[in-house]
Amino acid sequence: MIDKESIKHVSKLARLEFKEDEMDKVVKKLDDVLSYVKMLDEVNVENVGITYNPINLKNVLREDVVKESLDREKVLQNAPDKEMGCFRVPKVLD
């Protein structure tokens, strides 16, 4: 059974915020999901082979070829912000 304290702990780690009135709904929904997943433990998979990927995909690889790079000044000419020959972008993580 999931409780409010578990939700508060996980939401803090995930940087999610829930209002107190939303907490009961979140607990109920997560508990429902986990109950459904627990039902999967009862499925007999004894004679089922391992399936890594049900779709037969194949990687298409190519040889690495050394080529002349683009001119740095030309690449950066339309950059909104640049610093020391590189693109300068806003910080996205704390």
Mean pLDDT in order along the chain per 10 residues (94 residues): 86 90 89 91 87 79 92 93 93 83
Question: For residue 30, which of 61, 3, 48, 55 has the smallest C-alpha distance?
Answer: 3
The pLDDT value recorded for residue 71 is 92
Per-residue DSSP letter, 56: -
The pLDDT value recorded for residue 74 is 93
Q: How many CB atoms lie within 10 A of CB 7?
A: 19
Q: Which two tokens stand for residue 3?
A: 């409780």
Residues 10-27 as b/e (b if ≥16 CB within 10 A, e otherwise) read: eeeeeeeeeeeeeeeebb
